[in-house]
Amino acid sequence: MRLTPRCDRFAPKLVRQALAGLSGLGWVAGDAMLVATELVTNAVRHSQAKADDELEVLVSKDADTLRISVRDPGTSGQTARLPARPGAWGGLGLTVVDQLAAAWGSQRHHDGYEVWAELRLAEPAACHG
């Protein structure tokens, strides 16, 4: 799936709605919507893109993994990183991504900045009591 929402306050909701419509995600659907929301929100807040600039959101799935990638115009020059001390007023987005994703990272491209996360699709092992 490829989406190109405008880089505005409506982008996270549009991406969440699109993910909610994907079939075959099972239990990971909620985690995927949360991770996508955090990645898109970070792009909107921190990329310094204008509201009429577009983000590129790519979602791909294979047998074991769901990959969510968000690319912004990359004008801020900032790098996605876990905060040293997340605060009550923010800074939890990438911490949430780090906890839910099997892997995540970022890459600067000549035409933008990409942050991606991969979630495992396999059912988690049952807890034994």
pLDDT digits (tens, 9 = 90+) for 21-55: 888 888 899 999 999 999 999 999 888 888 899 99
Structure-token pair, residue 80: 């996605």
32 in Cβ contact with 19 (< 8 Å): yes
Confidence tier at 92 by pLDDT (50, 70, 90):
confident
For the domain 2-120, what is the CATH code? 3.30.565.10
- For residue 34, the one-letter residue type is L
Q: Is the confidence at residue 86, as pLDDT, over 90?
A: no
- Structure pTM? 0.85
Q: What is the DSSP letter of 82?
A: -
Q: How many CB atoms lie within 10 A of CB 50?
A: 11
